[in-house]
Structure formats: structure tokens, C-alpha cells
Structure 1
Amino acid sequence: MIYSLGIDVGGTNTDAVLINQNNELMSKTKTPSTADVTSGILNAVHQVLESSRVDRNKIRFAMLGTTHCTNAIVERKRLCRVGVIRIAKPATMAVVPMVDWPEDLVSAVGENYYIVQGGHEFDGREITHLDESEILTCVSELKGKVDAIAITSVFSPISSAHELKVAEMIREKLGDIPVSLSHEIGSIGLLERENATILNAALHHVAKTTAQAFIKGLQQEGIQKAAIFFCQNDGTLMSIDYAMNYPILTVACGPTNSIRGASYLSGVDEAIVLDIGGTTSDVGVINKGFPRESSVAEEIGGVRTNFRMPDLISLGLGGGTIVTEHDGKIKVGPESVGYLITEEALVFGGKTLTTTDVAVRAGMASIGDASRVSHLDEGFVRQVLGIIRNMFNEAVDKMKLSSDPMPLILVGGGSILVGDHLEGISEILRPDNYEVANALGAAIAQVSGQVERVFSLSEMSREQALHQAKTIATEEAVKAGADPATVHIVEIEDVPLAYLPGNATRIRAKAAGDLKYQES
């Protein structure tokens, strides 16, 4: 029997599960997250392995859903100094890179930016030729001043030629310095795509140190034969090498893991998912078993981006959320005791009133010592629960695309805060092992393969182009380790490029499949 280890790091708890090759749960644990994040991961891994007693050599896959990159952006810590080259002169001189960023984040990554000649029109024609001497001057000035470089060109999702050429020149002069290319990260929309690319470059060291720490931790536990993957925010996995090139794709992977885990646990692939942790709650939508993707620009750490992100609403409401009352006015959150809940909450002998205390007083949960909250007034408790219910009702309503009732899958350790009814919901599902749905979502995640190419429809039919793109995406998923029998197309996008010669169209296809288990 072969096993997979899934770990998901939240703001309050770090969860870990061990499953066998039939996706049967063998062991699970939930431990407090730690300030340095990594030691919390290692604690969870140790506990789940000790309780399972499986042969370490039979663990062949380890999947990590981590908040390291998100935390680095939010906290403005451990970020690389980034050199920014925008290939867009003279078209975009009016707005400089990072113009609308928070000042502290600009300070963290540095203001080393250049706008150089080049870029393309929306139909693929050059705005102007690259000036290689200008590029070489920029690269010389960046040498020794930055840790990574972000390159953005006007309409590079249509034509990436200038970005690729500048990257080639940089590597010739500066060696293996990390280089992020915007056409590989974001979609059309220069400033948001540029923002995402700069953030991606800034996260290189965080991703590298996280990967190294995870590998070392697994080795310390005697796990030597496991292939290691990071979770990305579309519900699939990426290798460590891929994660170090595109660390921005780990942002929001936690809620995505919960959505995938909720779908698996409930057997439902079309529903709303409410994941309630200790610090926050995330509301998302399962669409054909995968998270619904956001169609609008998303903010990360105060920066607008346009790369792929799940469609989510996050609330500052969880099991550790602090409840206060001043002059008869009740306030619920967004402050939270977080991973200190077992020390700070009233039911655990602490001195801070939390939503968990209110739930225990209302008889909705049996946690800690209920006698410590018996003094809470019943009317006060009803008011707090009413505020909580209204917050959830509003978030769920925003996620729905129609007025038709939908099922809601409830997961996460803080799900004790929800009663038996929410507006617009046909039924509330509380599957077994709901409290570790996020780690389970990581453990069962699939491997994906993707292709994005421009096809000339003067040489083949649209159906032939779509078939070729699907075939390539499927082959890429198999190369990445997916079982061929399980690979299927999960996304296909066809964008006609009417002004390019040859009746061109840009096709993006994505395939996903289960990991292929092999006995050694």
C-alpha cells in the first residue's frame, strides 16, 4: 500500500492527513500554527505519522498548502529586492510601475524600475523595436542591487517575443538570477499583470526557503522517497521547481484546498462551500468539482492583480474571533486570538470572549469547560449569533449567481458557528472529517498540464486546433505524474485574434488527473 501526506497551513491551525492510494483516510491531526509557520508544519507531520504508524518508505507523495507567500506579502517581510523592466516606451510613460502600491510594500521590494522601448499592439504588431543597448544599460545598473527581475511588455499575452528576448539577455549578463515574465503569470491588462509579476519575483526566496525547510523536515521524519508538491490556487499541484518559478500561484491555495476537500467528502461537485477557520471564513463555489475562478482583478496585500485566483469572499470571522460590547453595541471581529485560542478563550481558562465561547454557551458545541461561560446573558448570546448569521447570509448571497437555493457544504474547525439554516441554502451538509477538509483537499489534489498557443486556422480547422491543444495538455499532465486513465480536460479557452494574419486564435487548455501510484 502506498500513502500520500497532505498538509495545509492556516492562520490558526496547521492540519495534516495521511491517505492511502484509494484515498481512504488513515490518520489526521490539527495542531496550532506557529509564528514561524515551518515548525507548525513539522509538528503536524510528526503527529500524523506517529498516530498512523505506517512505513515511512511507503509514503510516496507529500503535498503542502502553505500561507508562507501570502504572509510574506501581507507582512512585507522576507521579500526579494526586485528590478522591474517594462517594455513599453513610448506608449506607457504616463504611469510608472508600482504607482498605486502601498508605500511600505514599495519600500520592501525597492523602486528599481526602467521603462524601455518595445512592446506590441493588440494585434501582435510591434509598437517599436527593442533597443538592445538600452536593455544592457538597465541590466548593468541592476547588477548587485536586486535579487530578482520582473519583465512586463505591452500585450505580451498576445506576443511574448520581447519578454523572452530581454530574459535571454539578462541571463547572459547576470547568470541564474530569478526572472519572472508577465505573459506566464497574468492576462491582458498591463498594470495588474505587471503587479502580479513583480510580486511573483519578490516571493522567490520565500518559496525556496519554504521548499528546503519542508524537504528537510520530511527527511528528519524518515520520509526519503516522497515526491514533493506545492498546492496551487486552482486546486491542482505543482512540483517544487515549478513552485519556485511561480510562487504567486500558491496565494489562496488554502481556501482552494478546502473547496476540493469539501467536494470530495460530500460527494457533491456543484455547491457553495463555507470554510470557517479560527481567524477567517472563506466562501467559495464548487463548479464541476473545482473552485470557480474569479473574473475580476483581485487585490493581494493592497495590490491589484489579474492572475488566476479562485472566486472567494473572506470574512474576518472564525472560531477565535473576539467579541466585545461597548455602550450596548456588540462588535464581532475582525480581531482574533488566532492560534492562541486554547490559551485566550474563556472556555479554556483565558480572559478573552470569543465566538467559540458564545457557541458553547448556546449549546452549539461542547468544547472546553462550559461552566466558564455560564454567566453570559442569553439575550447577549442571541444577539451575537444573529450578527454572525447575518454576516454568513450576506457572504453566501454575494456568491450566488441566481436566486435558486443551493446546497452548502460546511467545513473547517470553526463550523460550530453555523446553525441549521442559512438564507438561500437548500441544505447544509456537514461531512465526516470536515475539520481537516483543507489538508484532505491537498492530499487528493490532482496534477495538471497546461498549454497556451496561437494556432493558424488557415492551416487547420478550429476543431483540429482545439483537439491538438487538448492532446498537448493531456500529455503534459501525464508527464507531470498523472495517471493517464484519470486525465480529463478541466478548462478550455479559445480567443480569436482577428487582426493577426492567418485567421489566428489563441487557445488555452488545461488537463488534470490523479497522481500515478507506483510500487517500488
Structure 2
Amino acid sequence: MSCPDSVKVGDPPTPISIATQPANPMPSKLSSCVIGIDVGGTNTDAVILQGNTVLACHKTPTTADIQEGVEHAIEEVVRKADIAPGCRVDSVKIGTTQFINAVKEQDSSKLDKVAVIRLCGPYSQGSPPFVDFPLALRNLVEGHFGYVDGGYQVDGTPISPINVEQLREQARIIKAKSIPSIVVIGIYSPSNDTQEKEACSILASELGPGYDISRSSAIGRLGFLERENASILNASLRRFARRVITGLSHALSHLGDCKLYITLNDGTLSKASIASEYPVRCFSSGPTNSARGAALLAKSHMSDESDEREVLVIDVGGTTTDVCALMKNGYPRQSAAFVKIAGVRTNFTIPDVHSIALGGGSIVRINETRTTIGPASVGSRLEKDGKSFGGDILTATDLVRWDPISPEIKTSGLDEIARILEEAVDLVKTKQGNARIILVGGGSIIIGSKIAGADEVIRPEYLEVANAVGAAIGKISGAVDTTAFPAEKTIDQQVEDAKLLAIERCVAAGGNKHTVEVVDVDVVPISYVTNGATRILVRVVGDLLEGYEETHLPANPTLDGEEFHKAGAILPDEVYKESFTGSKASSYDVVKHTDINSYRPRIEGDLWYLSELDLLFLQDGTGVLGVGSCGEPYPAYLACRLALRNGETLTIRRQDTFPDNSVVLVGGFMGSPSVYLERIPGLNEVTDAIKGVVKQTGIADFDAVIPNEIGGMNAFEALLAANRFNKCVLDTDLVARAYPKLWQTVRCLKDISVTPASLADGAGSCEDFTAAHDNYEAEILMRDACTNLGSLCGLSVNPIYGVEAKTLPRNSFSYAWTIGRSIALSRSLKEDPITSLLSSENGKLIFTGKIISVTRKVAQGFTRGSVLFESFSDIENERNTSSTPKKSATENLLIDFENENLSAILKVDGKEDKVVACCPDLICVLDKANGAPLGIADYKYGLRVSVIALPAPPVWTSEKGLAMGGPRAFDLDMDYKDVVGTVDVIYEPPKSVWDMYGEGA
């Protein structure tokens, strides 16, 4: 690649600029500069910057030993820059894919065995470490795991103190197994890491030198299993990471006193010594660097701060094109979803990048009716195989570079490229109207000057090495993720304290305190608790303080030199943001080599024996029936799957043949779904609650368990509880959906009391409720008790006899299974999951669009709020070439929720309000890409969704049902009769799996 000598970022803008900007002359006097490097799978790119001036760039093939390629890139870029005497290179900032590639390649020479020590007390033991790792990777990294006393409740009180003798025993086991790398993870450690530090110190003392001990709180945010998984990958990579960083440091040796920094997933920097301890943070720095570099290179075009147009970055490579949206601060929006790395579910943040199979090397095929582009690509062999380079394969690049190509093929091919790209742009956009697009990447030659959905296309100078430019301008960050409670200080005051702490951490990591700015603040009330618990997330960034030395760190109570090496202290914290855009990571991955269409559940008489595939279907199905609440069922799903793999059985019993004199007990959870994701249930919460009811009622034995509601985690927890009692689950529940209040059940519609009832925390504490004045009083008493027991408790209520069980909602598990199967089948066939679901379940699509705002507040323990959606832009209108294109109306959808979605109101051009659905009908928000159900905790700015409505069963549309579960029960000023028929379907009772797949079906 030929690079001009110099260009100043800030030349006069040229709308829809296709030609590169002219270079500025070399500055006459230089003092210091910075080198940015991006090590990709094919090429290593390097740039040298002084301030905002690009002095030179160089692109060289990535070598097997990346040190060699980096050394060559540095030498060449310094030579091209012709740095004047007296100028120094202060720092080299490198982004690399080496660490994530080591995991993807499952290279045993780069991955170590890991031991995991959980500070958890009685919790989390149903979902052990490593259990959801792909088998091959699990065999490489699983060394040992152990459970010891410790951990914190959501309010900061200890679950139990650290048990020194238990830790010493674990150290003896680890030493006997010769496991070199250890992860310590404690419940709620991101909010309070004291116990993790203490445990690391004890283990280090027992093990002695030669063992690598790290803390989970230094790796990830709240979300116990995902943080643990990320910590395991990080620990396994540490030895390899140190080797890579050592090599990169050696490549800088000829530059003198030059500091090495590594770019992180969020576009900020880490000192090399810190990055070698936390390689997992560098997994996805490439896309972020590209977006950050694009923002700087096109800065002159975005000087008007009053311009409200959205800015998108399109990075076109050889095989794929990445499209992402830029925030005002010049950083790409980050994914809000769980991210799978090599099949491992984690919760560290990466850029929300929409990738499409389109690049300069995409293969062009000429069909009778149309020209297709990709998805196959010649990739890095473009200059050998492409026709414009003398090869035999027609590629996307050849459409613009190969002279002999016919005009018809060229036109049709470029039109197809435009269509593919414009669909991606429309999907990524989060605002109506035209966007500005910054086009970068070596393959951008294939993109035309006009893109529907955009009125400005910027092709900045050095677009081929935008990723290296992004690395060169990386800043330092600091972050805080904590749970606060209104006490001596208000929540607002504690937010200010969190800002100060985040700034301290940024400065301690090498940030210039005079340039630090707060870029993200999110305050999220925690639902189902009565003590005002609120999650606070703050992120700050600042310029790198050149000349910063690790020995000059200010006093910081969370860091000391010896502890860093022993326990893996963090500088800075993992960065994340609640309002990032993203795609909901589906709770169901299509199982390879499984023909879902022909799959039949195992039915034997009145029993349905669940398989792993059945559990996968239930995961999405119960999520849909949760209508926005009930918590992510992932931990309980893992526990159920583990039971099957251990040779145990999970069975569901047919409802309509259940004997009249049989006894059913109710099992589930009361409390906050947010707590459920951090304080993973143990083995005893629900079983202890059921035992409490058995003791109160004097029942000698029982025959089955049902969930208090079919939505989300409760369905899986009922399966687990039944299995632990060696019982089955009955194919029903108490609600037929999810509702926030304990008394919103079909039994309470008949004035049946919820008491006698029991709550249990799984740690030996159980509270019984023998009677209450009414079910409303029982709700209040049990909510308060739940908060006192850690805001998450096993729950069991008044037992049910068979004659009543037959009158409960019909075939609840079968219904959830059918919904999940429909979504899974669509995914396996690469069809739209929403269309299939609506067809099979008599639903209606209400809206398709993007989230543009979310508001939340907690009242009496319940999260009340609303989410506003905006429809996708109409690219067909935007592509209309007539002089007076038709402008489509702007549509918005407003959903009110109280833990569950309550109503959906359509707004057209901000004038007309129309109720299109409301409770008790089921209003479900699904990820547009894969149909995964979203809970209210998943609602984030920019998330792309489909909103559907499913009809409620008649029991809830009766006069009494509406009084208890209709819109006015939630103080909504509307009547259900006003929207009857808007779902435009007739309710049909769900069929059982016996009717669909049983003998004779």
C-alpha cells in the first residue's frame, strides 16, 4: 500500500467525498509521536501520529511469530515518517487478535489447566464451573473446582465468612494435581472484592511460588457464571499472554524509552504488564480500533455538534464487512448481550458490530436471473485469484478494477452489493432519517458513492489502516459497577461517589487527571426488593499521561505491588454500560446434526422424559411466556442438563389423566431476577420451602410439583425440585404466563388462599406463613421476609389436589415447548423465527423496530417503567429515484411494564395513540435476529426487536380475571374491551405433547 507522507485530520469537509483528502506537509519541528499497530490475521498495520497528524503508515503481512511482523512494521513506519532529530516515540499501542485466536484454535500449547474456587457457601452448586464449555475446550482447560464458604448477599452482608481451613484443603488438592492457574470467584465480588482478595492471599501463602492466582472481580461485571467463564479463559491464557507481550516489548527495544500499551475491547488502553495479566480484555479490540480510527480520520466532517444525524462506520475487509454505530464520544456502541467466545458464554463487553459476508474478495456468481455476491470469498488470496490480478475467479473487487467486465454484469453486481449493504445499514441504524457514513477498510473500493439511508459518505485518507489509527489514539478508562442502598447517603450521592472512584481508577491506570471525563452513567433499580437496592454503573475515560510510570501510581486501597502479582489486581476495571445496543444472545443454539423437524419427544404412557433438546426448547418457550420477567433461566437450565448427563431423569406428567386424589406441591422462586444471576441457586432453596409446607400441612407424601408460574426460571426450578424429590412435574402451572404479584394466579381468582406457605433461603433459614388476613396481606408479609433473606428465596404455597389440578392452566410445559420448538426450527432452516412463531401459536406481529429509550423506577419492590421503540427506516423509499420520494410516517411503540409487559401503544407521527395490545394478552419482545425472548432487564438503547402479542386464556379475560390481571389492575387508564380483537386471532388452548406425539398421534 502506498501511503502519503502526512495528512492533518481536519481538512475542509467534502460531502459524499470519494477522493482521498490531500496530505499536509511535514511539520517542521517534532517533539514526540505515537505508533499505533493492529495485528490482524492477514496483515499487520502500523501508523505513526503526532497529535492529530498522521506522519506515515505501513501494511505488512502478519508473520507466524508476530514479533517479527511488528518489528518490521515499526521499522518501516519510522523510516517513512523520517522523524527529525530530537523527536521521540513516547509509546506504541498495539491491538492484537492473538489471544482470542488461541482460544478459537484450542491450542493446547497456549492454554493452561485452570482450578476454580467458588466463595459461595451453599449456593451455585447446581451449576458447576466448566459445565457449559464445548467438550474439546473443556478437556483442555478444566483442572479442578471446589466450593468453600464465603460470598455476599445483594445488600453487602456476608453469606458466610471465609473458611481458612477449607481454602487450605483446596490448595492441597490443587498442588497435588499440579494445576498452574487458579481463579477465585465470590458471589457479588464486583461490588465487594474483600473476600476474594483474602482468599487469594491465603491460597498464595499455601501454594507458594509458581502458581498464578486471579480474582473474578478483576475480570468481569455482575453475572456470576458469565464472569466465571471469562475468568477461566483469562487464567488459561495468562502464560501465553505474557510470552506474547514479552515478544512485543522486545520489538520496541530499538525505540529507546518507549512505553508499550495494548488496546482493549472498549477502545481504551492497558499498560502491557497489566494486559498480560488480563488477555481476555483484548479479545475484540480490532473492530473498536477500526471505529475509533474512522472517527478521528473523519473528524473534520463532524465538527458541527448540532448535527443530530447518526454516524455509522462501515469497515470493508476481504471477506466480511462490519457495520457499527458511533456514539457522540467517538466510541462504538457496545453489545449489551452475553457474548459467546469459542462457544463459551461470557459477559465482558465487545463492540456491537453487525457483520455481513461481503468483502473485496467475495466471489461473484452470474445466474440466469440475478448476480450474487458471496458469501464465499477468496479472502487473502485476492491478489492471486482475482481476475484483475491475473487470476481466474471473479470477485467483488473485479467489478470495479477489471476492465474487460461487461457493463451488465458490473451494474448488476454493484447493485447487489448496494442491496446487501443497505439492508445492513438499515438494521444497524437506531434513528429515522439519513445517517452519515464513514467508509474504511481495504475492501471499500467496492462500495459506491451513494448508500440508501445515508446522505453523506466519507472516505478519509488512510482509510485502509483506520484500525491502527484507532489503536494509536486509545485512552485510559476507569469503571465502577456496584449495588447501592439508600441509607446515610442517597442514591444520587452514591452515584457521585462512584464517579469519583472511577476517576481515581482511571488516574491510577495512567490517565491524565486533567482530561478525565465521565462518559457513561447508568442507574438501574433492582426489582422485587423492598430495600431500594440499585445497581450503579459508571465509566470514565482520559488521555494517556505520557511518561507515566507504574512506580508512580498514587495510593490506591485496591492495589499494591505484591498483591498484584499474587492475586491479580485490576487496573482499570472492566468497562461496560447498561444502555449499549446489541443483540440478545439466544438462550438456544441450534444443535448441529439434529433434524428438529423430525425430532419427537420421548413419551411413555403418561410420562414425558425430557432430553437435552427438550430443555433447549423450554428455555426459549418459558422466556416468551415470561412476557418480560421471571429471570434468565440459564443457570437452572444448566443444572437440569447436568442432571440428565449424570444419568438422572426429568419427567413431566400428563395433566388430564392425573388422579383426583393425588397431591401436587408448588415450587418456584420469589425475589429479584437480578439477584438470581449473581447468587446462583444452590440445591436446597425450593426443596426446603416445599418441606416447610409439607410440615405445616402434615402431608405424608405427594405425587408431583408444578411451578408457581411457567415463565422463565420458575419452570426449570420446578423441574429441579421434582427431580430432587424423585418426583415428576405436572404439565401445568398457576398462571399460564407470568404476573408480578403472588396473588395473580388462577387459584386466587377462586379465592383460594396462598397460605400455608414457606420461604427458604437455601442456607438453613426457612420462614413459614400459616395464615394471613387475605392474599394481599400475604404478599406484603412474604415480600418483606424475602428481602430479609437475601432478596431471593425458594417458595412453596398451599398444596393442590388432583381434582383441582385438572382445572389449572392446560398443558403449560407443552405450550412452552411448542413455542421454543417453533423458534428453533426457524433458526435451523435460516427462516424468520417471528413469522413461524406467529403462524404456529396464533399470534400477531405488533411492531418491528429499535429501542430508543428506557425508563425505570421501583415502587414497593416492583420495577415500573416504559420502553419506547422506533420503527426501522424504509430503505425502499430512500432508494426511490423520483424527484419527490414518498415519505413514510414515523411510527413509535410505547410499552409500559411492571416487571412484565402490560400495554403497547402505537404512536404515528407523534400524534395518534392507539392501544394495540394490553394485559392479560401476552406482549412479548423478541430479538429480531434470532427470536430470543427479552426481559425488561435486557431493554437497552438500540436493541433491534420484534414485538408480538399472544392471546390470553379465557380465565384471564373474564370479568374477575380482568379485575385481577387486566390493565386497570395496574392503574392503566384503559379497558381491555377496547383492544379485544387487536390480536386478531382466536384463542386456542395449547395441545399437550401427548396429543401431538403420543401413541396414536
Q: TM-score range by the shorter chain?
A: 0.7 to 0.9
The alpha-carbon distance between structure 1 residues 28 and 303, as it changes in their structure 2 partners (threshold 3 A), is same
* Residue correspondence of structure 1 range 142-157 to structure 2 within 5 A: 142-143=174-175, 145-157=178-190
Answer yes or no: is the 8 Å Cα contact 1:124–1:500 preserved in 2: no
Question: 2:384 aligns to what?
Answer: 343
Question: 1:299 aligns to what?
Answer: 340
Question: 2:196 aligns to what?
Answer: 163
* Counterparts of 2:64 and 2:396, CA distance in 1: 23
What is the Cα deviation at residue 388 of structure 1? 3.2
Name the amino acid aligned to 1:10: G
* Counterparts of 1:514 and 1:316, CA distance in 2: 36
86-95 or 453-462, larger mean C-alpha shift: 453-462
Question: 1:493 aligns to what?
Answer: 522
Residue ranges of structure 2 left out of the alignment (5+ in a row) = 1-30, 549-1001
What is the Cα deviation at residue 399 of structure 1? 1.8
* Counterparts of 2:163 and 2:100, CA distance in 1: 36
- Alignment of 1:314 onto 2:355: yes
Equivalent in 455, 467, 470 of residue 438 of structure 1: 467
Name the amino acid aligned to 1:100: D
Equivalent in 21, 40, 56 of residue 27 of structure 1: 56
402-411 or 287-296, larger mean C-alpha shift: 402-411
Over residues 450-495 of structure 1, what are the superposed CA-to-partner deviations in whole Å (9 max), with x where a residue is unaligned? 3455666533444443333333433443444434432211122345
* Counterparts of 1:393 and 1:318, CA distance in 2: 14
Equivalent in 166, 170, 183 of residue 134 of structure 1: 166
Percent identity of paired positions between Structure 1 and Structure 2: 37
* Counterparts of 1:274 and 1:99, CA distance in 2: 38
Answer yes or no: is the 8 Å Cα contact 1:57–1:225 preserved in 2: no
Answer yes or no: is the 8 Å Cα contact 1:7–1:443 preserved in 2: yes
Over residues 302-331 of structure 1, what are the superposed CA-to-partner deviations in whole Å (9 max), with x where a residue is unaligned? 222111222112234322344567999976
The alpha-carbon distance between structure 1 residues 36 and 518, as it changes in their structure 2 partners (threshold 3 A), is closer
Question: 2:122 aligns to what?
Answer: 90
* Residue correspondence of structure 1 range 141-290 to structure 2 within 5 A: 141-143=173-175, 145-175=178-208, 177-219=211-253, 222-267=254-299, 268=302, 270-288=310-328, 289-290=330-331
Equivalent in 93, 96, 106 of residue 63 of structure 1: 93
Equivalent in 420, 428, 446 of residue 391 of structure 1: 420
Answer yes or no: is the 8 Å Cα contact 1:450–1:473 preserved in 2: yes
Answer yes or no: is the 8 Å Cα contact 1:150–1:197 preserved in 2: yes
Question: 2:541 aligns to what?
Answer: 512
Answer yes or no: is the 8 Å Cα contact 2:38–2:467 preserved in 1: yes
* Residue correspondence of structure 1 range 367-386 to structure 2 within 5 A: 370=403, 374=404, 376=405, 378-386=407-415
What is the Cα deviation at residue 2 of structure 1? 0.4
Name the amino acid aligned to 1:450: A
* Counterparts of 2:370 and 2:152, CA distance in 1: 57
Answer yes or no: is the 8 Å Cα contact 2:221–2:481 preserved in 1: no
* Counterparts of 1:383 and 1:399, CA distance in 2: 25
Answer yes or no: is the 8 Å Cα contact 1:83–1:142 preserved in 2: yes
* Counterparts of 2:86 and 2:233, CA distance in 1: 37
Question: 1:364 aligns to what?
Answer: none
Question: 1:477 aligns to what?
Answer: 506
* Counterparts of 2:124 and 2:547, CA distance in 1: 52
* Counterparts of 1:441 and 1:151, CA distance in 2: 34
Over residues 256-310 of structure 1, what are the superposed CA-to-partner deviations in whole Å (9 max), with x where a residue is unaligned? 0111111111123851111112233221111121121211111111222111222
* Counterparts of 1:196 and 1:435, CA distance in 2: 32
- Alignment of 1:108 onto 2:140: yes
Aligned residues: 504
Name the amino acid aligned to 2:319: T
Equivalent in 458, 469, 473 of residue 429 of structure 1: 458
Over residues 193-244 of structure 1, what are the superposed CA-to-partner deviations in whole Å (9 max), with x where a residue is unaligned? 221111111221232112111111111xx21111111011111111112212
Answer yes or no: is the 8 Å Cα contact 2:191–2:481 preserved in 1: no
* Counterparts of 2:162 and 2:375, CA distance in 1: 49
* Counterparts of 1:36 and 1:334, CA distance in 2: 30
* Counterparts of 2:180 and 2:371, CA distance in 1: 48
* Counterparts of 1:107 and 1:386, CA distance in 2: 48
Question: 2:436 aligns to what?
Answer: 407
Name the amino acid aligned to 2:355: S
**What SS does structure 1 have at the residue aligned with 2:111?**
coil
* Counterparts of 1:238 and 1:244, CA distance in 2: 9
Question: 1:119 aligns to what?
Answer: 151
**What SS does structure 1 have at the residue aligned with 2:120?**
strand
Question: 1:15 aligns to what?
Answer: 45
Question: 1:419 aligns to what?
Answer: 448
Answer yes or no: is the 8 Å Cα contact 2:155–2:533 preserved in 1: no
**What SS does structure 2 have at the residue aligned with 1:165?**
helix
**What SS does structure 1 have at the residue aligned with 2:256?**
coil
**What SS does structure 2 have at the residue aligned with 1:342?**
helix
* Counterparts of 1:500 and 1:507, CA distance in 2: 16
* Counterparts of 1:466 and 1:181, CA distance in 2: 25
* Counterparts of 1:518 and 1:162, CA distance in 2: 35
TM-score (norm 2): 0.47
Over residues 143-175 of structure 1, what are the superposed CA-to-partner deviations in whole Å (9 max), with x where a residue is unaligned? 263232222333333443443332222221234
* Counterparts of 2:473 and 2:439, CA distance in 1: 18
What is the Cα deviation at residue 415 of structure 1? 1.0
**What SS does structure 2 have at the residue aligned with 1:248?**
helix
What is the Cα deviation at residue 444 of structure 1? 1.3
Over residues 33-92 of structure 1, what are the superposed CA-to-partner deviations in whole Å (9 max), with x where a residue is unaligned? 234433322222121112112259600111001111121111112122222223335332
333-342 or 239-248, larger mean C-alpha shift: 333-342
Answer yes or no: is the 8 Å Cα contact 2:320–2:355 preserved in 1: yes
TM-score (norm 1): 0.87
* Counterparts of 2:425 and 2:64, CA distance in 1: 31
Question: 1:366 aligns to what?
Answer: none
- Alignment of 1:76 onto 2:106: yes
* Counterparts of 1:325 and 1:145, CA distance in 2: 59
* Counterparts of 1:26 and 1:215, CA distance in 2: 23
Answer yes or no: is the 8 Å Cα contact 2:155–2:485 preserved in 1: no
* Counterparts of 1:325 and 1:35, CA distance in 2: 37
* CA RMSD across the alignment: 3.1
Answer yes or no: is the 8 Å Cα contact 1:13–1:278 preserved in 2: no
The alpha-carbon distance between structure 1 residues 74 and 273, as it changes in their structure 2 partners (threshold 3 A), is same
What is the Cα deviation at residue 518 of structure 1? 6.4
What is the Cα deviation at residue 517 of structure 1? 4.6
Name the amino acid aligned to 1:234: D
Answer yes or no: is the 8 Å Cα contact 1:449–1:511 preserved in 2: yes
What is the Cα deviation at residue 411 of structure 1? 0.9
* Counterparts of 1:111 and 1:53, CA distance in 2: 52
**What SS does structure 2 have at the residue aligned with 1:395?**
helix
